[in-house]
Structure 1
Amino acid sequence: MHITASVFINDDESGLHHDYEVWLEKLAPHSPTDQYRHNGYEDNADAHMKRQVMGREVVVAVTDGELHFGTWEQIFYGEFDGRRPKRVLVKIIGA
């Protein structure tokens, strides 16, 4: 529930998580901060862009109380600008 954080589904594999960090930093590098018009009050324009790429929500099917995932999939929270507290909203919709 914050514009510089992400929720996504993927494999729970540490090498993949590292690769995401490296890839996102290449797509939207933090420095130099003056490359972004958004920066001024806060230097977090890169965090906004990283969140845009990774997404803000996930939808998961649930049957009989079980999440429907692939074998190694899990839900992850991505934090791209850790300067303030964040919250996560879980909403269950269905019969």
Structure 2
Amino acid sequence: MCRVYYESIRISTTKQFELIDITDNVEKIVRKSGIKNGICLVFAPHATAAIVANEKEHGLMSDIITFVKELVKPEREWRHNIIDSNAHAHIGSSVIGADRVFPVVNGELVRGTWQNIFLVEMDGPRSSRNIIVVVIGE
């Protein structure tokens, strides 16, 4: 019988661009769900943030932020900036994506040895970011 379990993670960010590791939170939710086999959706319901999976190595994390800044060019005169100065973050979220899906096998989140799950903040600091975690399976 298929079941659905939902929970959210609330975090705050401290920088305009930042990677926040949410792996432990997501794994706890998967275990708490009691679902043995299925999928886990991690979704950031924000138009200026994204979700990625990659290695938690500080040099690489810095490189990812550098690349994102080069990709979205926050200093560029984007048209959206006429009404709000965060066009770069909207573009980054659109390109990177606001969600990731992971398998759940034998009650555990499946990810690669070097894959952690990160919120990519591109419009911080924010006092509250919400990440939705939905576990679906049996």
TM-score class normalised by the smaller sequence: 0.7 to 0.9
Q: Is 1:73 aligned with 2:115?
A: yes
Instruction: Tell me the TM-score normalized by structure 2.
Output: 0.62
Report the Cα offset of residue 14 of structure 1. Answer: 1.2
> Sequence identity, in percent?
38
3-state SS, counterpart of residue 95 of structure 2: helix
Give the 3 Å change call, closer, same or farther, for CA 41–55 of structure 1 in structure 2.
Answer: same
Q: CA deviation at 1:69?
A: 1.1
Q: Which residue of 2 aligns with 1:87?
A: 130
Rounded Cα–Cα distance in structure 1 between residues aligned with 2:65 and 2:93: 12
1:47 lines up with 2:76 in the alignment:
no
CA distance in 2, matches of 1:73, 1:23: 18
Unaligned runs of 5+ in 1: none
Corresponding residue to 1:5 among 39, 49, 63: 49
Is 2:71 the counterpart of 1:22? no
Residue identity matched to 1:55: G
One-letter identity of the residue aligned with 2:131: V
Alpha-carbon distance between aligned partners in 2 of 1:82 and 1:21, rounded to the nearest angstrom: 13
Matched, 1:38 2:80: yes
Does residue 106 of structure 2 align to residue 64 of structure 1? yes
| CA RMSD of superposed structures (Å) | 1.4
Superposed CA deviations along residues 35-85 of structure 1, whole A, max 9, x for unmatched, are: 211112210000111112221101011112211111111111111112543
Question: CA offset at residue 16 of structure 1?
Answer: 1.2
Question: How many equivalent residue pairs?
Answer: 93
Q: Which AA in structure 1 matches 2:118?
A: F
The unaligned stretches of length 5 or more in structure 2 are: 1-44
Normalising to structure 1: TM-score of the pair?
A: 0.88
